[in-house]
Amino acid sequence: MRKIDIDPDAGFCFGVVHAIQQAEEALSQESTLYCLGDIVHNEEEILRLQQKGLKTISREQFYEGKFHKVLIRAHGEPPEYYDFAKKHGITLIDTTCPIVIRLQQKIRRAGEEMKEKSGQVLIFGKKNHAEVIGLNGQIANSAIIIENPQSIEGVDFTKPIRLFSQTTKSVEEFQLLSQTILYKTRLCGNDDFVAYNTICHSVSNRSEKLAAFAKSYDVIIFVSGRQSSNGKYLFDICRKNNERTYFISKPEELNLSWFREENSIGITGATSTPQWLMEKTARYISV
């Protein structure tokens, strides 16, 4: 019989679990609940919640002020959304991840410090990622967003710098970026640079275990939403450790040519991948 195992460390992180629990609790009392942006970067889980009555709205729709109750997802939002909700009588179900909340607070303090010193706050992350938008909003969108550690633009290395990271970025890339900035600031005689590794431990701690998991099987099936930053990062770790790693967003995308009968198969996913979807994938393979 073919060996098929699901990675015990894969699946929703605490922040996503909390957000979905809050959404389901609200939907048990009301037929419809509005969520500002996708509650999780997984298309299949969004579809499941849509069938329960969850509706995703855009930032533009939120500012129309027509919704009496709106869920703030784990990524968090800028302060102006809370101000707008209070002014227009919108009840917020705030499921911002505690780790993100602490990061927002750190960035606000750094913003005040850098304002006094005429310095700069840098955030390593995707410019249009919901979490980064929320983080930058803490300091009136004055941060410099760096998407690629090899391409640092708009940074004055002669001035004080405080560096933070989106919680789901690569630890290795953040370290490379930190080292690059440290080198450039020292060349300028600037010793006022501090890098804060704010990558979530549920992401960073998985790297070593995931590499070992990927090496333990003939084939790895990585299940994730295609828009998940965390998914792309973890998939790359699998691929580096097992070239027979395949990315799917749902079981229907499986290709039987990837397997031989004698193959052992490991199934894993992102921190935004639901357990039920990995289990469904295992059933598809075993049929």
Query: Taking a C-beta distance cutoff of 8 angstroms, is the pair 234, 272 a contact?
Result: no
Domain 14-97 has CATH 3.30.1340.10: no
- How high is the pLDDT of residue 1? 64
**Dihedral of alpha carbons 112, 113, 114, 115, sign:** positive
Residue 178's beta-bridge partner residues?
none
Coil, helix or strand at residue 231: helix
Taking 80 as the threshold, does the pLDDT of residue 287 lie above it?
Answer: no
- How high is the pLDDT of residue 150? 86
Q: Percent of the chain having pLDDT more than 90?
A: 86
pLDDT interval class at 114 (50, 70, 90): very high
- How high is the pLDDT of residue 96? 97
Query: Taking a C-beta distance cutoff of 8 angstroms, is the pair 225, 265 a contact?
Result: no
CATH classification code of 99-201: 3.40.1010.20
Q: Fold identical between 4-10+203-286 and 99-201?
A: yes
Q: Which amino acid is present at 13? A: C
pLDDT per residue as tens digits for the range 175-221: 999 999 999 999 999 999 999 999 998 777 788 899 999 999 999 99
Number of C-beta neighbours around residue 142 at 10 A: 12
Give the position of tokens 């969004």: 46
Domain locations in the chain as residue ranges: 4-10+203-286, 14-97, 99-201
pLDDT interval class at 153 (50, 70, 90): confident
CA distance 126 to 207: 20
Mean pLDDT (the chain) is 94
**Residues ≥6 apart with Cβ < 8 Å to 129:** 75, 166, 229
Taking 90 as the threshold, does the pLDDT of residue 233 lie above it?
Answer: no
CA distance 118 to 53: 48
**Crossing angle of the two packed helices 206-215 and 229-241, in degrees rounded to 10:** 40
Alpha-helix residue ranges (DSSP H) falling in the chain: 14-27, 43-50, 59-62, 79-87, 98-117, 130-137, 171-187, 201-204, 206-215, 229-241, 275-286
Active site residues: 131
Lowest-confidence region among 245-249, 256-260, 274-278: 256-260
Q: What is the CA radius of gyration of the chain?
A: 21
Choose the CATH number for 4-10+203-286 among 3.40.800.20, 3.40.1010.20, 3.40.250.10, 2.30.30.60: 3.40.1010.20
